[in-house]
């Protein structure tokens, strides 16, 4: 697998988002199966794994820690802080107070079976804690040797600049794909200027861009897509045009729609590293295969021209969740 740089952190061109193994997309998957899948990913050249204390909560970090313990020197593990989690394991707000960040660090290190977190993201910007205090807390952790790199998830541009001035930010993680292109407006130009890498999450539109989800697909009540405006049957029907476009290009390239969606992201900037999630070996192999697909300037122009005529229907999140993003 080709390598890419997020700031000065080298990782595989495609990473693996681990959330769905434990959380978010229906019931948690069988643990041993997921351990095997994570280890297979390493064999196939993936060196970049994304988790968070919030996924589960806690169980996803434990899974990743157990699966990757024997490969620890070969892999880069990213995890996140910033939520307040109740004793029952429910998210009850945001908490990026420096003392809380330090507590989370020690707990995450234990679950991940490691003595250092390679990339530590603030999961969502906390409006009650100045970002300078957050960056300062992570700077201390880097000085102590518990963390290597600092990241931000779903920040606005001013937050990125203020944080970066205190502790250089290695990577920003936002949703980005052919059906959510907002980062192009302000975030990507700022990252290019500052030399910060970009990690798109949901690069396959939460599965929609693979062509395996249509208006008739039903979702388990524990699948977050059952609550998203963009995943109502009407929105899925309207948004099928985007999948049809990817399918057309995929036929020509002897690829799948999902591979074209990932190849398109990789073609945007050399410092973009998508982290598609999966719980299936076949999909893992398919996603990794996208790194070998070359889209020509003509292919990219064709995608751009066709995509510009398609208006994606449905909000990305319900309003109360959207307010957490882009601060």
Outline where DSSP puts E strands in 40-89: 48-50, 76-81, 83-85
Total Cβ atoms within 10 A of residue 115: 9
Contact present, 11 and 3 (Cβ < 8 Å): yes
The active-site residue, picked from 25, 55, 121, 176, is 55
Question: Which are the contacts of 119, defined by CB distance < 8 A and separation ≥ 6?
Answer: 6, 9, 76, 77, 78, 79, 148, 149, 150, 151, 170, 171
Active-site residue flag, 55: yes
By DSSP bridging, strand 3-6 and strand 9-12 are antiparallel
Total Cβ atoms within 10 A of residue 311: 9
Question: Sheet holding 16-17: strands in order across?
Answer: 16-17, 48-50, 76-81, 117-122, 147-153, 169-175, 197-201
Cα(254)–Cα(259) distance, integer angstroms: 10
Active site residue ranges: 55
């Amino acid at each position: 697998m080709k390598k890419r740089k997020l700031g000065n952190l080298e990782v595989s061109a495609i990473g693996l988002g681990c959330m769905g193994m434990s959380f978010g997309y229906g019931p948690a998957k069988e643990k041993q199966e997921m351990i095997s899948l994570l280890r297979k990913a390493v064999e196939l050249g993936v060196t970049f794994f994304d988790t968070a204390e919030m996924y589960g909560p806690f169980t996803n970090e434990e899974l990743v820690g157990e699966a990757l313990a024997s490969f620890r020197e070969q892999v880069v593990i990213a995890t996140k802080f910033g939520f307040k989690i109740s004793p029952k394991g429910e998210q009850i707000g945001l908490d990026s107070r420096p003392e809380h960040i330090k507590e989370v660090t020690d707990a995450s290190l234990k679950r991940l079976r490691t003595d250092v977190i390679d990339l530590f993201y603030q999961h969502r910007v906390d409006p009650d804690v100045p970002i300078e205090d957050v960056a300062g807390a992570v700077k201390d952790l880097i000085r102590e040797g518990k963390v290597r790199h600092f990241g931000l998830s779903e920040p606005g541009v001013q937050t990125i600049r203020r944080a970066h001035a205190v502790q250089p930010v290695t990577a920003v993680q936002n949703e980005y794909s052919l059906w959510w292109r907002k980062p192009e407006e302000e975030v990507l130009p700022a990252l290019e200027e500052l030399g910060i890498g970009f990690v798109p999450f949901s690069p396959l539109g939460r599965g929609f861009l693979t062509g395996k989800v249509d208006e008739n697909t039903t979702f388990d009540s524990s699948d977050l897509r059952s609550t998203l405006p963009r995943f109502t049957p009407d929105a899925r029907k309207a948004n099928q045009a985007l999948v049809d476009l990817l399918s057309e290009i995929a036929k020509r390239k002897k690829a799948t729609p999902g591979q074209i969606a990932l190849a398109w992201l990789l073609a945007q900037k050399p410092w973009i590293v998508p982290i598609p999630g999966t719980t299936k070996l076949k999909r893992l192999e398919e996603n990794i295969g996208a790194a070998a697909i070359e889209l020509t300037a003509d292919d990219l122009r064709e995608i751009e021209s066709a995509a510009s005529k398609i208006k994606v229907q449905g909000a990305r999140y319900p309003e109360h969740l959207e307010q957490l993003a882009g601060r």
